[in-house]
Structure 1
Amino acid sequence: MSDKPTESEKLNIFGQRIKAWLLLAIGLGLIWVMAFAALPLGQRLPAVGPVMDAIERADIDAGTYWYTQSEETARAQMFIRNAIRRYE
């Protein structure tokens, strides 16, 4: 019995690698579509649009409010709510 893979085993491994790379490319493509196509369209939703406008007008860095379950997040939420009320 030989330790070398047969031709069919080589083709199977090659096919699995191509499939893995293809799935990776599809996944990255879906992330790109979400980031640059679907999520920007969310700004047009009636519930999201005014909030996004108020955040931009107040020059709030929304990325700094990512973490939850902390006192800083509670203060940030109050700040954003007050900014939205002020600019409506």
Structure 2
Amino acid sequence: MTVEELHVSSLIVHVNKNKADNIRASINLLTGAEVITISEQGKAIVVLEAPNQRVIMEVIDSINAIDGVINVGLVYHEFEKQEV
């Protein structure tokens, strides 16, 4: 029996609201990332799912590199171990 992990994180991403549509599309292309909403003020709620914390950090770095992203803040992180 193997033990696998599932990591779930939520982020607040401050974005240039004039680039919100492109940012939403770019984030949604990242594996395990989903934009839930972007407010009129330019605050996006993003959920991430990944097999480990390293992948979560890599996706956060990728989001930070998107044109128009101002700041990424980690709000929540949890992981569960599952026996397979």
TM-score by length of structure 1 reads 0.29
Rg (Cα) greater in structure:
1
Higher strand content, 1 or 2: 2
TM-score by length of structure 2 reads 0.30
User: Which structure would you say has the larger RCO, counting Cα contacts within 8 Å and 6 or more residues apart?
Assistant: 2
Higher helix content, 1 or 2: 1
